[in-house]
Structure 1
């Protein structure tokens, strides 16, 4: 039973890690898309605008052509970057991991709440499913593991603070959490 409790804690941590990576990658993907579409819109506006109209704003033909060239380069560079880093695909793979791990976590909770006969049947099935899921999901990059684990532990600590101080603003609880974590000598 101790192993099931340990697996439950590990699953909680892995869900936090994959959720954080999913959210980071989808943010990056959307940010790149916004920059890409904004640059494309500006480029299209500059291409179709009359040079005589731009001269009223102090922009001559050469400067406008330079802007068009710069926005073309920006669009090309962002397109290549998004193609290479594939943030959207990474986000989707971490989302899949979150969903599979969440199902395992629910199974784990069910085992912990069930009677002894049901536990004996479900534990081997759980470990088989656990092995299959771990073989199929995207791995947490080792360079990011410790920072993500730290994030998970901070999340747990903040959750405890919220439970004990439900009326306190979240910002103040985060400050309290930070100050509790800093050791003064």
Structure 2
């Protein structure tokens, strides 16, 4: 948190800043930035500024402008007094674009479920919606299970929007049909059963003669 706060204070208009990893809903942790400014920059401006200095997963999902940071009697930031961001999220600067293909809709549904948001646009980025390094690992597992594709975790960082990820997966994978998925499951069960079955040893003619 200290590294993100220091980067945010480097912005020429930001006077002070504090970071908080909020968990307003159980299991839903989101990095929220609180700041004061002489000339308030927009959330998109702050995000662009931080992305030049930090990896995407360290950029806050919400920015809250305050007149002053709440302080304790000792003069330190009172993090318990920092207000909830009221569902503020950055989202796509171009506005909401509905996912168009079946694959885009499937990815969007997984993101909605994991990030607990009402909708996910085609051009919205995972970390803009409140995603973090923990939730992206969970999404990675769900994508592999639901889509039946060999999705690499690095793909989610390299293609952070629903549209870009769907395009990448479409270009590199052919989605298996329902019949193919069923055949693969049957084959996998057969292979597992074969591995559990002890192999039979066959006696050679020489061994039989030795026993006699």
Q: TM-score, normalised by structure 1?
A: 0.23
Q: Structure with the greater relative contact order (CA < 8 A, sep ≥ 6): 1 or 2?
A: 1
* Structure with greater helix percent: 1
Q: TM-score, normalised by structure 2?
A: 0.20
